[in-house]
């Protein structure tokens, strides 16, 4: 990988010198971000959390839904009318 001068006077690796290595670094960064996303998602949807996910029957089929979600769109409209 070649070296190019960065904005702050430091040197950064040029992605054009070896695109494969640049993609590898980008892939590693994406994997790290994805791991953080999965961790946050688990925290938000854990039992007792604000966005807890549970299974509810809808027309005879069990689907995943937020436990604290309003039961119908009518409830959403009624709640919004108070504001």
Quote the pLDDT of residue 26: 63
Q: 56 vs 11, 22, 27, 29, 50, CA distance in Å?
A: 55, 45, 37, 37, 17
Query: Element (H or E) spanning 73, and its range?
Result: helix 73-81
Q: In the prediction, which pLDDT does 33 show?
A: 86
pLDDT at 29: 76
pLDDT the model gives residue 65? 92
Which residue ranges in the chain fall short of pLDDT 50? 1-6
State the sign of the Cα–Cα–Cα–Cα dihedral 21, 23, 26, 30: negative
Tokens encoding 11: 């040197």
CA 47-49-53 angle, to 5 degrees, is 60
pLDDT at 54: 93
Which residue matches tokens 């809808």? 58
């Amino acid at each position: 990988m070649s070296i190019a001068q960065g904005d702050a006077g430091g040197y950064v690796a040029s992605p054009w010198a070896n695109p494969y290595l640049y993609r590898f670094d980008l892939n590693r960064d994406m994997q790290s971000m994805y791991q953080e996303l999965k961790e946050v998602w688990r925290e938000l949807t854990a039992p007792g959390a604000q966005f807890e996910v549970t299974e509810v029957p809808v027309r005879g089929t069990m689907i995943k839904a937020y436990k604290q979600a309003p039961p119908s769109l009518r409830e959403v409209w009624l709640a919004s009318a108070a504001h």
